[in-house]
Structure 1
Amino acid sequence: RGNGFQVKLLNFWRPINDFEELRKAKEDLSKFDYLSMKIRKATIKDVPELLKILYQLSPLENIENCKKNDENIVFNKIAENEDYYLMIAEIDGQIIATATLLIQQNLSHHARPYGHIENVVTDINYRGKNIGNLLMHYLIGLARIKNCYKLILNCSKEQVEFYRKSGFEIYNEVEMRFDI
C-alpha cells in the first residue's frame, strides 16, 4: 500500500436516469468473460483459495497464523452485507484474481452512494494478462448499476499506472477519480 495515495474514479457525477442507459450498463457487466474466465461473487467455499491470492497482496502476513474459524466468521459478515461485493475471477474453477467493491450510502450528492474499491490482486501466475483491468471494469459497471456517483481507492505509487489504465486519474494530487 506504500504511501497510501487516495484514488478516485472520475465521471461519476451524472446519474443514470433512463432505462436504456441502465440496460447498457447491465450489458457491460456481461461482456467480461475473458477466454474461459468468469467473474462472480465469492462464496464461503472460496475462502481458502481466496486467502492464498490475498496474501500475495500482503506477503508479510502469515497465512498459517490465521484461524480458519475467524476467516469464516468474517466472510459470513461480509456475505450478509448486501452492499459488499467480494468478487473473484476464475478460470476452470481456479480463482485467479479478486477485488472488492463496497457501496457506501451517502446523504450528499442527491443521496447517491459511492463505491470504495479494495484488495485488487491477481495471482502472480496470471499477471500481465489484463485480468485485473477486466475485473476493475466489472466493478465500474457494477457501480454504475448501483447509481454510484464516484469510485475511490487507495494505492501505492507503484500501482498508479495500473489504475490509470482503468480510467482513474490523480485527484487533488493525492486522489484519483473517474466521472461516469
Structure 2
Amino acid sequence: MSDLVIRPVDRADLPRLLDLYVHLDADDVRAAPEDAVAALDRLARYEGSVVLVGVLDDALVTTCTLVVIPNLTRGAKPYALIENVVTHADHRGAGFGRVVLNAAIDRAWEAGCYKVMLMTGSTKPATLAFYQAAGFEQTKTGFQVRRVAIRCDG
C-alpha cells in the first residue's frame, strides 16, 4: 500500500477516471469527454471540493469525490459530502478505498467542515461494514428524488 499515491484528479486523468467508474456502475452512461472536463471545472469552483484518485503504478485504482458545501447553521461551518466511492475490482480488499476516504475526510476537516456525510445505495453487508470501518456511523435516514430520464424513441 505504500506505493499508493492519493492526489487530486487532473484533466489528463479523465479518460482513466471514467474507465474506473465502470467498476462503480457498469450500466451507467459514460460522460462525453467535453462534459467531463466541464464538470471537473465546475467542481473546482467549490472551494475545498475535489475528486481524489489513488494511483498505483500509474493506474487509477480508487477514487472518491468530496464536495464542500457552504452552510448558514453551525456557526457558518461548511459540511462535506462524499460521493462516487469506488475501487477497481482487481484491487478491492487491499485497503485502497479506506486510504482515499481518509484523505477526503482529512481535506474536509482542513476546510473547516463540521461533518462529512455519504450515502450508499448498496445493501451489501460488506459495503456497509467498509463504511463503518472507515469511521462512518449510520445515524440518519436518507431520502432522494431522482429525475426520470426522458426517453427518445425514434
Q: Under a length normalisation based on structure 2, what TM-score does the superposition of the two structures give?
A: 0.83
Matches within 5 A, 1:59-138: 59-63=26-30, 66-138=31-103
The aligned counterpart of 1:53 is 20
1:157 shift after superposition: 2.0
More strand by share: 1
CA distances 1:22-80 after superposition (whole Å, capped 9, x unpaired): xxxxxxxxxxxx321110000000000000111211111244xx422222222222233
- The answer to whether structure 1 residue 169 and structure 2 residue 137 are counterparts is yes
Structure with greater helix percent: 1
For the 8 Å contact 2:46–2:67, the answer to whether it is kept is: no
Post-superposition, which runs of at least 4 consecutive aligned residues in structure 1 deviate over 6 A? Answer: none
**Structure 2 unmatched ranges of 5 or more:** 143-154
- 3-state SS, counterpart of residue 82 of structure 1: coil
- Are the counterparts in 1 of residues 49 and 68 from structure 2 also a CA contact under 8 Å? yes
Residues 31-42 of structure 1 mapped to structure 2, 5 A cutoff: 34-42=1-9
What is the DSSP-based 3-state SS (H/G/I as helix, E as strand, rest coil) of the residue aligned with 1:59? coil
1: distance between equivalents of 2:100 and 2:90?
16
Aligned twin of 1:4: none
Q: TM-score, normalised by structure 1?
A: 0.72
**What is the alpha-carbon distance in structure 2 between the residues aligned to residue 118 and residue 154 of structure 1?**
7
Secondary structure, counterpart of 1:170 in structure 2: coil
Is 2:128 aligned against 1:160? yes
Alignment length (residue pairs)? 139
Question: Percent identity over the alignment?
Answer: 29
Relative contact order higher in (CA < 8 Å, ≥ 6 apart) = 1
C-alpha RMSD of the superposition = 1.5
